[in-house]
Amino acid sequence: MLWAVFTVLAAAGQTVRNAMQRELTATLGTVGATHVRFLFGFPFALIFLAGVVIFSGAALPRPNPSYWPWLFAGALFQIGATATMLAAMGQRSFVVVVAYIKTEPIQVAIFGLLFLGDPLNVWMMLAIVIATTGVIVMSYKPGGMEGGMRPTIIGLISGGMFALSAIGYRGAILNVSAGHFVMAATFTLACGLVLQAALLTAYLALRDRPVLAAIAAQWRRSLFAGFMGAFASQFWFLAFAIATAASVRTLALVEVLFAQAISAFIFKQPTSTREGLGMAMIVVGVIVLIWSHPT
């Protein structure tokens, strides 16, 4: 059950990273704050990779030709998903958009079955539906659909891209031909973050150079956000190496519970009956998922 431990650690790290990125948005803008996770994350990924090489004594893997299309797909779909999510932030019904983005586990299950042959049993499918419905229940607010179908479509597209990104990265990990899953996951993380950092840096250099200067000026604050992003991604990839993407992304919904706990205990924001029902559904879905997961 290491995959479950890795996933919970990744979700916790991602919660911290998201909080840091929200603080950086005020000075860097949404694109700049997003780029921080890649630009300041890839050096830590390289350090993680060096640590694995030193402590394991293993040589760096030589990926099969089939590795690189999976890696590019994972990296590009993640960038596209993030950009689509940022576009959704301009919608009036943002909360509903977020709920549809969180349909990602259902889409991951479908894409994983189609592209990777990841197995699904009835109990796993039930767990995915229960947990995802719980997130939608938590996120829904009366009148939230006043923005029409556009927020729904944007949310589903963003969730689909996040799902395809997870499938791409898992496909890369399975095709890296490394001797151990830790090396496969860590090597893929390093390659993916270097690729994303290079692409977004080139984009900003061509389209918005002042943002790069602003990122450089905020390097001290960005460094921790980059570390937490690389930390979370390291555990996401370790989980992808030993479990189906559908299982990992469903259990990842515990991130919603972490965020709710921060709201309740730190910001003293009360939990409504609807939010409590949604949290209970997430917990039930997670329990069914772990119970049904093949050992």
Q: Identify the residue with better confidence: 289 or 71.
A: 71
The pLDDT of residue 267? 57
- With 80 as the cut, is the pLDDT of residue 263 above it? no
The rounded distance, in Å, linking the Cα atoms of 41 and 222 is 9
The one-letter amino acid code at 130 reads I
Q: Identify the residue with better confidence: 94 or 142.
A: 142
* pLDDT, average across residues 228-246: 93
The pLDDT of residue 238? 96
Lowest mean pLDDT among 115-124, 160-169, 214-223, 266-275: 266-275
Nearest partner of 160 among 113, 116, 117, 107, judged by Cα: 107
| Chain centre to alpha carbon of residue 232 | 9
Lowest mean pLDDT among 56-60, 208-212, 258-262: 258-262
The one-letter amino acid code at 35 reads H
The pLDDT of residue 93? 47
- Is residue 159 within 8 Å of residue 122, measured between CB atoms? no
The rounded distance, in Å, linking the Cα atoms of 119 and 247 is 10
Work out the burial of residue 210: count CB atoms within 10 Å of its CB; fewer than 13 is exposed, 13-18 middle, 19 or more buried: exposed
Give the torsion through C-alpha atoms of 174, 179, 181, 186, to 10 deg.
Answer: -90
* pLDDT, average across residues 268-290: 80
The pLDDT of residue 82? 77
Please report which confidence band the pLDDT of residue 148 belongs to, taking 50, 70 and 90 as the band edges: low
The rounded distance, in Å, linking the Cα atoms of 99 and 107 is 14
The average confidence (pLDDT) of the chain is 84
- With 80 as the cut, is the pLDDT of residue 149 above it? no
* pLDDT, average across residues 158-172: 93
- With 60 as the cut, is the pLDDT of residue 234 above it? yes
Q: Identify the residue with better confidence: 207 or 141.
A: 207
How many alpha carbons lie under 13 Å from residue 167 in its C-beta half-sphere? 24
* Range of 11-20, 238-247, 260-269 with top mean pLDDT: 238-247
The rounded distance, in Å, linking the Cα atoms of 211 and 114 is 39
Please report which confidence band the pLDDT of residue 191 belongs to, taking 50, 70 and 90 as the band edges: very high
- With 50 as the cut, is the pLDDT of residue 92 above it? no
Lowest mean pLDDT among 10-14, 53-57, 70-74: 10-14
The rounded distance, in Å, linking the Cα atoms of 289 and 147 is 34
The pLDDT of residue 279? 80
Residue appearing with tokens 């009036």: 92
Rg (CA), the chain: 19
SS3 state of residue 94? helix
List Cα–Cα distances, 6 to 11, 13, 18, 247, in angstroms.
9, 11, 18, 12
How do the domains of the chain map onto residue ranges? 44-206+245-292
